[in-house]
Amino acid sequence: MPRQRWTLADVPDQRGRVAVVTGGNTGIGFETAKVLAARGASVVLAVRDMDRGKRAAAEIAVTPGADVTVQHLDLASLASVRAAADELRATRDRIDLLINNAGIMYAPRKTTADGFEMQFGTNHLGHFALTGLLLDRMLRIPGSRVVTVSSAGHRQGGPIDFDDINWNTREYSRVAAYGNSKLANLMFTYELQRRLSGTGETVAVAAHPGGSDTGGSRTSVARQPLYFRALFALVRPLLIQPAEMGALPSLRAATDPTVQGGQYLGPDGFQESRGHPKVVESSARSYDMAAQRRLWTISEELTGVTFSV
C-alpha cells in the first residue's frame, strides 16, 4: 500500500484561531501565514521590516475573508521583543499558534542590540524571550502550539560553548554559529515540552523546511566561496524545493491533530532536503537533557525572561 503523504489539503479548518508568525513577510513564514489565513485563522505577521510586512499582508488579504495584521518585531533587540509582546497581549486575549519562524543564516560576525552574537541572539534568544512573554496567552487554549523552526544545519552546530556563547574568545565561524542557533532551537523545544507536560493544553513542536528556495537561502549561498557556489549549482535541483513545499513541515507541526509535543518534522525525501513532512530525528546532541537545561538557564539569565512553567 503506498505511503500517504501529508499535503496542503490536510490542513484543517483554522477558523477562530489566532496565529502569530515571526518573519511572516517572506519565504517559509509567508507561505505558512498565507495558508493559515486561507483556512480561516486570524494571522499576525510579526516582522522587522514593516513596509515589507504590509506588502505581504496585502498579498495575503486578497484571499476572501482573510484576517491578517502586521506587528513590528525585531528579534535582535530584547526591547523590541518586549514591546511586541506587550502590544500582542494588549490586543489578543488568546494565541493558538506561535510559529517561531524568523531567522538569519550564515551571517558575518555581528552583535545584537544587547551584545549577543547575532545568529544565536536572533534565532534563539529572541524567540525564547518572545515565547516566555506570550505563553500565558496560550496555556489555557485547547490545541495551542509553540512551533519553532530549526534546520538540518543544526547538525553543523555544537557542542554549544556555554562559557563563550558570544564567540568572544574563539575564531568566529558563521557556519558553526548558525548551527549552534538551530541546535538551540531544538533543545529549547524539547525542554519547553518537558516543562509543559501536564500543565495545560499547550505543546511544543519543532520543524525544518529542508532545502527551500527562499531569499534567505539564496543569500546564504551567495556568501559562500566561488567553488561552493559552482558545485551547489550542479546539485541544486536535487536539494532545493519551492518555498510552498518548505512550509509544509511547519504547517503540519502547527495544525495536524496527530502531531505530539516534542516531535520534530521535516521533509521525507533524500537527506530530508525535499518532500512531504513526516516525523524525523534530530542529532544525538540535541537530546542531551543536561545541555538543554543549561541552555534554558543561560537563556533566562541573558534575556531576563522567565517562564510560568
> Would residue 215 count as lying in a domain?
yes
Instruction: Please report the pLDDT score of residue 287 as a whole number.
Output: 98
Residue 150 lies in a domain: yes
Q: Domain range spanning residue 53?
A: 10-300
Q: Is the pLDDT of residue 227 over 50?
A: no
Residue 306 lies in a domain: no
Which grid coordinates belong to 66?
482573510
Whole-number percent of the chain with pLDDT over 70: 90
Mean pLDDT of 11-26: 98
Predicted model pTM: 0.91
> How far apart are alpha carbons 94 and 139 in whole angstroms?
9
Side-chain-side CA neighbours of 129 within 13 Å: the count stands at 28
Whether residue 307 is contained in a domain is answered as: no
What stretches of 89-195 adopt beta strand conformation (E)? 97-100, 145-149
How many domains would you assign to the chain? 1
As annotated, the active-site residues are: 178
Q: Is residue 309 part of a domain?
A: no
Residue 232: what pLDDT?
42
Q: Write the pLDDT tens digit of every residue in 164-201.
A: 999 999 999 999 999 999 999 999 999 999 999 987 79
Give the count of alpha carbons within 13 A of 170, CB side only. 14
3-state secondary structure 254-298: HHCCCCCCCCEEEECCHHHCCCCEEECCCCHHHHCHHHHHHHHHH
User: Does the structure show a pLDDT above 70 at 60?
Assistant: yes
Domain with 165 in it: what CATH number? 3.40.50.720
Q: Tell me, yes or no, whether 3 lies in a domain.
A: no
CA–CA gap between residue 188 and residue 302 (Å, rounded) = 14
